[in-house]
Amino acid sequence: MLKIEPLPHKDKDGNIILNRYSGRLTGGDNPAAEAMLYGAGIKNESDMKNKPQVGIAAVWWEGNPCNMHLNDLGKIVKQGVEEADMIGWQYSTVGVSDASTMGNLGMRYSLPSRELIADSIESTTMAQWHDGNISIPGCDKNMPGTLMAMARFNRPAIMIYGGTIKPGYSTRLKEPILVSSTLEVLGSVLANGKYGQEDLEEVVRHACPGPGACGGMFTANTMSTAAEALGMSLPGSSSAPAESATKHRECLSAGKYLKVLLEKDIKPRDIMTPAAFENALVITMALGGSTNSVLHLLAIAYTADVHLTMDDFQRVSDKIPFIADLKPSGKYVMEDLYNIGGVPAVMKMLLAAGLMDGSILTVTGKTLAENVKDAPSLAQDQVIVRPLDNPIKKTGHLRILKGNLAPKGCVAKITGKEGTHFVGEARVYDSEQELLDEFYQGLVRPGKKIVICIRYEGPKGGPGMPEMLKASSVIMGAGFGKDIALITDGRYSGASHGFIIGHICPEAMEGGPIAVLKTGDMIEIDSEKNTINILDVTDEELQARFSDWTPPKPSITRGSLAKYAKLVSDSSKGCVTDAELF
C-alpha cells in the first residue's frame, strides 16, 4: 500500500486541519492539479486551500435494482457534504448483478467484482488525495468491496447501504415474492410440480417492484447488517428500505458525521477492531445471514490487519442462537424487520443480553451502545425476531465442517429445518451446468438420499467461485429438499436454503479430496459434530485415486478472470488477491 504522509492533525496554533491529504495537493507546487480542481467546480482560493475533499463513491449502474438508485442517493450525500462545509466529488465503481448472472457464465465475475470495487475506490481516493470517503453500495459484493477499500486507505470513511427492496406480490401464488422465488417456481415447473409456466411468467414479472437489494436475509442485507455491527455505517442503515424517507435522511446526514470523523481523526481501522468483528459475527448468526459472510468478513478482517479465521465463526455459532424468521428459510423480509425497529432494535436486545460489545467505536464518533440507546425495543407481540430463550435454533445456522472431504474446512448453512445430520450416496458433477442439464431432462429424481457434488467451481476452478443458487433453488422448488444435500467447492447465494455446504477447501482445481470423489461414494454430513466425510474410503485409497488424477487445464487464460485465478487465495482465507499471502 502506497504510504502518503498527511499534514499534522493540528497546526502550530492548535487548530484542527481537516484537509490533511488534499492539502498536500493544493498547498504545494501542483498548479496543474489546482487548475483541474478549479475547472471541476471549486469556487475560490479559500475553498481550495482549506476545505476537505470527500470522495462519494456510488456502486451505481442502471441495469440492476440493487444499484439503479445509488447515483441519486449520492447526490443527496453530496448535498449534505457541502452543507457541512466540505467539497464532495461523486464517482462510480463497477458492479455485477448476482441475480442476473445466477446460473450462467456471468456469475464467474461476481466475486472478483469485490476486488475491482475495492481497487477502484482505493485508486480514486489515493490518486486524488481525498481526505475522506463516503461509499454507497447496493448488491452483494458491493459492501465488502467498499469496506476493504476503506481498510486499505484508512482515512475517515462511512458506508451507506443503498437499502432493501420492497417485496413483490404474486396474485397467482397469493403471497409476497422476491427474485429468488423465480428460481424456486422454475424448479416446480421442471418437476411438473405445484406451479406451471404461467405462474412462472407472472412471478418473473412482479418479483422486483423497484429499487433496492434483494429483500431477505440474503448476502446484501447480511453484509449491510454486519457493516452496521462493525460500526462502519450509521444506525439503521442496514434495515432502512431503499425508497424510505429514513434512507434519504441518512444520506443527508452523512456529511456532518464524516466531518466529526475528520475532526476526531477517527479512521476505519480504529473502528474495525477484533471486538467489532466479533459483533459482526454475532449479528450474522442471530439473524441467519448468508454463507458469503464467511468469505467477506475474512477478507475485510485480513485487509484491516485483524486476525480472523473460519474457526471463529464456529466458536460464535456455538454460543449465539438463531432467532430471526427471515427469508430464505423463514417467512419475513428486511422491510418487515425495519417496521418493528430494524437492526438497532435487535442489537439493543443483544447488547442487553451481553452478547455484543457496546463499547466499540462507530462512524458517529460514539459507541455502539450510545447509538442504540434511544432505539425502540422490539415489541413483545412481534413474531419476526424470537426471544433469546425461545429461538428457532439454539445455536447459529452457519457451521464450519472439516473432515477427509474438506481438510481445510467448508461452510454449511443449517437452520435446523433440514435436520442436522445427512448420509447419502454421492452423485458427482464437474460443473453446475452438468447438473442443471440432467435436471432439465428429468434425470435428477431421488429415490433415496443423495448428496449432489458440484466441483471445479472454486475460486481458481470456476474461476471466480460462482454461486449455486439456481441449483439449490430448483431442488427446493421441485420438492426434493429432504432427499438431496448439495455440496460444492463453489458458493451459495444468501437466498439459498436447504441442506447446503459450500466453500469446500482445498477446491478440486487445487487437488483437494473433492477432486477424486466418485459417484456412489457414501458421504456423511454432521452439523453437530461439525464433520463432513467420505465413508468407507481410507486415506490410502484417496491417495491412490490421485495417482489417476491430473488437474484440468484452466478454462480461461486471458483477461480479468485469468488474473483473478492466478492471484486469488483459497476460500479459507477469504479469497483475497493480496500478494502478501503468497
Q: Name the residues annotated as catalytic.
A: 493
Please check whether residue 227 is in contact with residue 147, taking contact to mean a CB–CB distance below 8 angstroms.
yes
The CA dihedral of 62, 64, 69, 74, to the nearest 10 degrees, is -80
CB half-sphere exposure, 489, CA atoms < 13 A = 33
Q: Could you give the 3-state DSSP secondary structure of residue 396?
A: coil
**CB proximity list for 441: less than 8 A, separation 6 or greater:** none
C-alpha closest to that of 520 among 451, 441, 437, 418: 451
CA dist 144 and 95 (Å) reads 13
Quote the cell numbers at residue 556: 480461461
List of residues 6+ apart from 215 with CB closer than 8 A: 164, 165, 166, 167, 178, 221, 327, 333, 334, 335
- Number of neighbours of residue 549 by Cβ within 10 angstroms: 11
Query: Do 324 and 288 meet the contact criterion of CB atoms below 8 Å apart?
Result: yes
Give the Cα separation of 146 and 172 in Å (integer). Answer: 39
Residues forming beta bridges with residue 531, ordered by sequence position:
402, 526
Q: How many CB atoms lie within 10 A of CB 407?
A: 14
Nine cell digits for residue 226:
454486519
| Cβ-based neighbours of 19, under 8 Å, separated by 6 or more | 7, 26, 49, 50, 51, 52, 53, 131
In degrees and rounded to multiples of 5, residue 284 shows phi and psi of -65, -45
Torsions phi, psi of 454, nearest 5?
Answer: -110, 115
Q: Side-chain half-sphere of 498: how many Cα atoms within 13 Å?
A: 30
The strand pairing partners of 534, in sequence order, are 523
Locate 95 and state its grid cell. Answer: 458492479
Distance of CA 221 to the CA centre of its chain: 8
Residues with Cβ within 8 Å of 198's Cβ and at least 6 positions away in sequence, in order, are 172
- The amino acid at residue 321 is P
Helix ranges restricted to H, 128-218: 142-153, 179-190, 197-206
For residues 427 and 438, what is the distance between their CA atoms, to the nearest angstrom?
Answer: 12
> Which residues lie across from 332 on neighbouring strands?
326
Yes or no: say if 321 and 393 are a contact pair by the CB < 8 Å rule. yes
Taking a C-beta distance cutoff of 8 angstroms, is the pair 465, 508 a contact?
Answer: no
CA–CA gap between residue 423 and residue 533 (Å, rounded): 10
Task: Please tell me the distance from the alpha carbon of residue 292 to that of residue 107, in angstroms, as a whole number.
Answer: 14
Residue 361: other Cβ atoms inside 10 A: 18
**Cβ proximity of 202 and 172 under 8 Å:** yes
